[in-house]
Amino acid sequence: MSRKPTLAVVGATGAVGTVMLQILSQHADIWGEIRLVASPRSAGRKATVRGEETEVLALGEDVFDGVDVAMFDVPEEVSAQWAPIAASKGVVVVDNSAAFRMDPDVPLVVPEVNPHAARVRPRGIVANPNCTTLSMIVAIGALHAEFGLRELIVSSYQAVSGAGRDGVETLRRQMQLVAGSELGTSPGDVRRAVGDDTGPFPEPVALNVVPWAGTLRDEGWSSEEMKVRDESRKILGLPDLKVAATCVRVPVVTTHSLTVHARFEDEVTVARAREIIATAPGVVLFDNPAAGEFPTPADVVGTDPTWVGRVRRSLDDPTALELFVCGDNLRKGAALNTAQIAELVAAEFTGR
């Protein structure tokens, strides 16, 4: 017998959690009760979902009683502790942290690319990929289905909101310090103006780009770069895919961008690539450089699709394409994909 499942949103008051509530209010109403959950310090606050003010509950075992699906947007260590507790109560957890992404018993799902994977969840948990991976993988998945992907070389231009509210607040403070000045014309002048107020970043991000995101891993790679490699392989089912990524933080509030060099098994044509991109679910082709039309974060922010432009065949390799891709890192890069996975699971209850 079909029924509307009960949903818990864990981390409902955070930056991504707030977007999750917006998406739940905008999408088809497939849920029964929606419980909003956050840390004890946020408990008792009110948040609006589906047009109703709802009190936020403190995270604890009892909040999962009677819950069918839970969307988690909390720090990795909180997910690592609480997602198994929720799953032990029969809850299907959709987790937006990195805690379970590379666990072989946890599927890593992008509904436009591998929706079938969401049905096999030995631990009762489904993982949501990193926002950088999600900003490109829907378009890359569509091209892979046609041409057979062999190699990815990407550079990301990541918005400061990828580092949370602290990242956004840091950029805004720094912009106030440099606005209306002649800074950026001599070595170190921006650094001196900003001082030690670099927030979660190792260098000033206003009037600057910082070739670093994440934490240090082996041989100089960052954790963010390794996520792009490992997650792309898992989502596409290509464990030996060659991937090289360089992640760069840029002075943009929200929306990640990437340049992508993708090599395929067979020769590619721009005409066919454009056709695939233009018709792929969740992707928008916006590509007319002669008219100054290509995706930028300022235009893409707040929208759901992956936007693709600057589609070219490599000058030196007839099997390779060059692309520029933009995706809102708080929507498709986090909240939207999490909600889409949860909707896949909900269909098992509703019989849709």
Q: How far is Cα 124 from Cα 69, in angstroms, rounded to an integer? A: 10
Amino acid at 121: R
- Give 240-243's long-range contacts (Cβ < 8 A, gap of 24+): 241/149, 241/150, 241/151, 241/152, 242/150, 242/151, 242/152, 243/151, 243/152, 243/153, 243/154
- For residue 182, with 0-12 CB atoms within 10 Å meaning exposed, 13-18 middle and 19 or more buried, which class applies? exposed
Q: Which residues pair with 234 in a beta bridge?
A: none
Where does the chain have alpha helices with state H?
15-26, 76-88, 131-147, 165-178, 189-194, 223-236, 270-279, 297-300, 336-350
Rounded to whole angstroms, the Cα distance separating 116 from 177 reads 50
DSSP string, 211-231: S--S-B-GGG-BHHHHHHHHH
List 222's β-bridge partners, or say none. 216
Could you list the active site residues? 131, 256
Best CA proximity match to 124, nearest among 73, 72, 89: 89
Cα separation of 118 and 97, whole Å? 16
Please report, as a single letter, which amino acid is at residue 213. A
Using CA atoms, how far residue 325 sits from 143, 152, 167, 175, in Å, is 13, 13, 22, 26
Q: How many helices (H) and strands (E) does the chain have?
A: 9, 13
Going by C-alpha positions, the residue among 332, 342, 303, 282 that lies closest to residue 130 is 332
Cα gap 165→203, rounded to integer Å = 17
